[in-house]
Amino acid sequence: MPELPDLQVFSKNLLKNLKGKELEKVEVVEGKKIDAGEKALNDGLSGKHLKDVYRLGKELYFDFGKDALVSMHLMLNGKLILQENEELPKYTIVAFIFKDGTQLAMTDFQKMAKISLNPESNDTVDALSDSLTADWLEGKLAKSRSVIKSFIIDQKMIGGIGNAYADEILWEAKISPKSISSKIPKAEVGKLAKAIKHVLTDAEKQILKSHPDIISGEIRDFMSVHHSKRKTSPTGAEIIQEKIGGKSTYYTDEQELYS
């Protein structure tokens, strides 16, 4: 599943390719996970120019102007494909077809990727929001009995952090993923807040450096610990892999356990 840094890059590249283009029509191939029908999408979007593409949490947003906002959640296997005047790709869920012939297709062989027209606003604090401060995080953690790995991937608590980057963040902050959230000392919470911002923004830079035009997929080869082929961390500690909260988790004994 694409995570926050991937989606950040996708949004920038999609905006670069599509900004200002006029939408001719929307074709819905698989409507199972679309909260508006093909007619509603076309009534709301056709003839409008794309103004912006941005990310919030784990979703991409396509802004066509007033009352013409589309959100897109790629889920586990959704992919985006840009092409020109071609037959739609296999497993297409929906395609946005622009007047100049450009087509943006969202595909998913599992048919789980989601589209919403004019979605309700999401009040969850985004992982890169200025609102995510050490004080804010300390207040939230103090009320939680969950392990920290489960806390930071909970999209109701923090928007955008997925399984892989949670491991990277906790390794950088040197906090064990099995630590009880409310037991983490204030000073370490401050390190965690900094690690969230640093790991995610640095990952975006790494992806842009190696795959500057990417709009689909996951780039993980630069990760420090969440890497199935890596045996030791950059500082030489053995990487341990186990299930925590049902998620495959990678960490080392360099990370302090607070319990």
Q: pLDDT digits over 141-166, tens only?
A: 999 999 999 999 999 999 999 999 99
β-pair type (114-117, 69-73): antiparallel
Q: Find out whether 169 and 197 touch, Cβ atoms under 8 Å.
A: no
Confidence of residue 59 (pLDDT cuts 50, 70, 90): very high
Which CATH fold would you assign to the domain 134-251?
Helicase, Ruva Protein; domain 3 (1.10.8)
The Cα 208–Cα 219 span in angstroms is: 10
pLDDT at 85: 87
The Cα 201–Cα 12 span in angstroms is: 14
pTM of the model: 0.95
* CATH of the structural domain 4-117, one choice from 3.20.190.10, 3.40.50.720, 3.40.50.300, 3.30.70.890: 3.20.190.10
Domain positions in the chain are: 4-117, 134-251
Assign residue 161 a region: left if phi > 0, alpha if psi is -120 to 50, beta otherwise?
beta
Confidence of residue 32 (pLDDT cuts 50, 70, 90): confident
The Cα 216–Cα 82 span in angstroms is: 10
pLDDT at 175: 98
Q: Which residue is associated with the tokens 């929307």?
A: 26
Mean residue pLDDT across the chain? 97
Contacts 24+ apart (CB under 8 A), 199-205: 199/165, 199/168, 199/169, 199/172, 200/4, 200/5, 200/8, 200/127, 200/128, 200/160, 200/161, 200/165, 200/169, 201/5, 201/128, 203/5, 203/165, 203/168, 204/5, 204/8, 204/9
Confidence of residue 169 (pLDDT cuts 50, 70, 90): very high
Distances (CA, A) of 220 to 3, 61, 164, 207, 249: 10, 24, 9, 9, 14
Strand order in the sheet with 69-73: 52-56, 59-63, 69-73, 114-117
Check whether 122 has a pLDDT greater than 90.
no
